[in-house]
Amino acid sequence: YLSRYWTVSSNDITTPEFTAEMEYIDADVTGTEADMIAALRREITVAMATFDDWKVAGTVNPTTNRVIINSADNFGDMYAMDNTMSRLPIVLISFQASLENNSVVFEWKTASETNNQFFTIERSLDGRNFEPILYKNGAGTSADDQVYKAFDNDELVGRIYYRLKQTDFNGAFKYSEVISVNISNFKEVIASVKIFPNAVRAGEELNIWIENLSLTGTTIELISLEGKPVLSLKEVHKSHAIIEIPSQLKHGYYLLRTRGLGFSTTKKLIVK
C-alpha cells in the first residue's frame, strides 16, 4: 500500500465522473507494488442514507510509479493498496442480516481463514458512524468453509446499518461491505418521562427522569409554544438529566420534548 493519498473535492458539482492520474515515490510503498490496485474512498447513498465506502477504481503502474483512477463516481480520497482478495486473511463468501423473532440475525461464511483471531459486528443508525456491538472468535487458520451466526437483540426501529470487521492475530483488520435491515415490526418503545419541578424559575435547574432510555441516546429540547428552540441537550445516555433554564428566559409556558430511538414525548413546563 501507499503511505500517501490524494483528496479531490468540489464546491458545486454534485454528480461527478472523472479520471485522474497521480505520481508517487518509492519511499511511499509498503509491500509489493505489483499487487496494488487504485482505490477511491467516497460518499455513496444507499436506501436514502449516505456513508463512506471504498471501491476499486483503477490500476497502478509500478514501472512509472503512477496511480490511475479511471472510474471515479464521486469526490473523495484516492489511494493505492494491494489487491483486496490477496490482502484479506479470510475469503468471505457472504455476510447477511435478517429479522427473526424481534432480533437481527447475522450469518456469514468464509471459504478459508489465515491467522484470523476474531470478528466484530459494528452497527450504525446513519450508515456513517459505526460502533461495535458484538464479537465472535475466528477459526485461526483453516482451509475449510466456516459458518458463523450472531444476534443483535437490542430494541431498534428504522433502517439500521451493519458491517463485519475481521481482525487477525497481528492486529490487522478489514471491513466487509455495509448491509442494512429495515426494522418496522419491532414492538414500540414506551418511554416514561418525569420532570421536577413542574414549574421552575429562570436560572434554576430542571430534573428529568427517563425510563426505558433509548440505547442510542436521547435528545431533550426546550421549545416555546410557537416552536422556537430555547435549548437542546443531545446524546443523553443516562436516565437522569439536569438542564439549567436560561436566566434571561421570559416567564410563561414552554414545551419539553424528549426524543429517542422509537419514542417521542412532550410535556408542558411553566417558567416563573
Q: What pLDDT is recorded for position 21? A: 93
| Residue whose C-alpha cell is 474512498 | 41
In a domain, 204, yes or no: yes
Closest CA to 236 of 256, 221, 226: 221
CATH code at position 254: 2.60.40.1930
**Distance between CA 216 and CA 162 in Å, rounded?**
15
The ranges of the chain with pLDDT < 70 are 44-54, 83-91, 170-171, 185-191, 212-217, 226, 235, 237, 260-264
Q: CA 120, CA 136: separation in Å to the nearest integer?
A: 6
Q: How many domains does the chain have?
A: 3
Are both 222 and 163 inside the same structural domain? no
- Is there a single domain that holds both residue 81 and residue 93? no
Can you give the length of the chain in residues? 272
How much is the pLDDT for 111?
Answer: 74
pLDDT of residue 165: 87
Residue 269 to residue 224: CA distance in whole angstroms: 10
**Residues 143 and 161 placed together within one structural domain of the fold:** yes
Look at residue 1 and tell me if it is in a domain.
no
Grid cell for residue 122 = 459494528
Helices (H), the chain: 84-87
User: What is the structure's pLDDT at 22?
Assistant: 92
Enter the pTM of the model.
0.42
Domain boundary pick from 64, 85, 106: 85
Task: Please check whether residues 172 and 200 belong to one and the same domain.
Answer: no
Residues 96, 151 share a domain: yes
What dihedral angle (degrees, nearest 10) is formed by the CA atoms of 82, 85, 91, 93? 140
pLDDT at 49: 45
Q: What is the pLDDT of residues 31-64, one digit of tens each?
A: 777 778 888 877 766 444 455 566 788 899 999 9
Buried b (16+ CB within 10 A) or exposed e, 176-186: bebebbebeeb
Q: List the one residue out of 221, 121, 229 whose CA is nearest residue 178.
A: 121
Q: Supply the pLDDT for residue 148.
A: 93
Same-domain check for residues 143 and 222? no
pLDDT digits (tens, 9 = 90+) for 236-260: 767 788 888 988 888 888 888 887 6
Q: Which domain holds residue 176?
A: 89-183
Q: How many CB atoms lie within 10 A of CB 171?
A: 7
In this structure, the answer to whether residues 109 and 158 fall within a common structural domain is yes
Cell 429479522, residue located = 99
